[in-house]
Structure 1
Amino acid sequence: MIDTTVDVINKLGLHARASGKLIEVTTKFRSSIQIGKGDKLVDAKNIMSLLMLGAGKGTTLRLVIDGADAEKAEEEIKSLFAAKFYEAD
């Protein structure tokens, strides 16, 4: 099991478009993927749950991944956040 953090660094935060891109990544994996603030974790494969987080720029999110492909999932998710969800600044 992986329990780590990711920082929201894109200008608009985890809004609808960014959440959609995150869903594209998370749904490729069989692992259970949860994301949230502290102990309030939500299913990272559910867009409504992601939008309800209200994670704006500067938010540090906890990422918990459990399953056979957890390491690959962590790598792709962190890459997406680092790339600012491929949005223009």
Structure 2
Amino acid sequence: MLPTIDHVIPVSRGGEDSETNWVCTSQLRNGSKSNWLLEELGWSLNDPGKLNDWDGMINWYISYLDDNPQYLSNKYIYAWYRVAILETTT
């Protein structure tokens, strides 16, 4: 779920390393896309959303861990969960 920047047209395929060729994606999709073109994978870009409408999936994170508390035994996950709870209730 970690965000990253990817090149729409990979630099290795002639794409520019500039903002006009950058998109925000996940590490998982970036790794899967590799040096492929979107069309070659049957993928397309989503329309950009409104940044103010994006909650970073924090509500999903809290809900998921509430439903799957076994993951809270991981100290890293638990620390982020605690911060998420504090930030969404204050």
TM-score normalised by length of structure 2: 0.26
**Which has the larger Rg?**
2
Whichever structure has more helix as a proportion of its residues is 2
Whichever structure has more strand as a proportion of its residues is 1
